[in-house]
Amino acid sequence: MGKIDWKRKLSSRKLWAAAAGIVTGLAMVFGLDEGTISSVAGAVVSLASVVTYIMTEGRVDAESAKKAVDVFGSHSPCQKSDDPASSQAEGDYEQT
């Protein structure tokens, strides 16, 4: 059996919708008023949305960084090169 990807599972909107449903059902069983049930369910769904957004953006940023390293090698395209030919190509000409 493989390793469980908890980041992916916890960022699932279906999981959080199910959790909100369970919390709502339990609140009804224990006789909480409708306002409290709505507030708790809303908080669960809102928290799930924020967590999912943050985790998804983190994955996108990580992929972008990985692609940038693959394309440009071990240095950033913004770093200065020691190669005189490349500095002239960038417009850093010597003044005489």
CA 93 to the chain's CA centroid: 42
pLDDT (average), residues 50-75: 79
pLDDT (average), residues 29-45: 84
pLDDT band at 85 (very low <50, low <70, confident <90, very high): low
Q: From 12, 4, 5, select the one nearest 51 (Cα to Cα).
A: 12
Which has more pLDDT, 16 or 95?
Answer: 16
Tokens of 13: 């909107």
Kindly report the pTM of this predicted structure. Answer: 0.47
pLDDT band at 51 (very low <50, low <70, confident <90, very high): confident
pLDDT the model gives residue 17: 79
